[in-house]
Structure formats: C-alpha cells, structure tokens
Amino acid sequence: MKTVWTIFNAIIMLGLLGLGVYGFVLFIKFLNRAIKALNIYIAEKTND
C-alpha cells in the first residue's frame, strides 16, 4: 500500500511541476508583450 501512495505522490508532484513551468512560460510571454506595448507607447509619446 505504501508504494501506491508513493507513486500517487510522485504523479501529483510532477503535475504541479508541469503547471509551474507552464505558468512561468505564460508569464514570460506576458512580459514580452507588455514590454513591446510599453515601447510602442513611449515611441508614440516621444514623437509628438
């Protein structure tokens, strides 16, 4: 019975690790878009 819980725990931990990596990738993509939007905003404001 102990091995069942160990395997179950390993699956849960791998799932959480995968979700963490996925969230980190989404956060990096969001930051990339935010920086591009900020650069466009600054370019528009300085060209007046």
The residue-averaged pLDDT of 30-44 equals 96
pLDDT per position as a tens digit, 1-25: 789 999 999 999 999 999 999 999 9
pLDDT of residue 36: 97
Q: DSSP secondary structure string, the chain?
A: -HHHHHHHHHHHHHHHHHHHHHHHHHHHHHHHHHHHHHHHHHHHHHT-
Confidence class for position 47, pLDDT limits 50, 70, 90: confident
The residue extents of the domains of the chain are 21-48
pLDDT of residue 48: 63
State the pTM of this model. 0.73
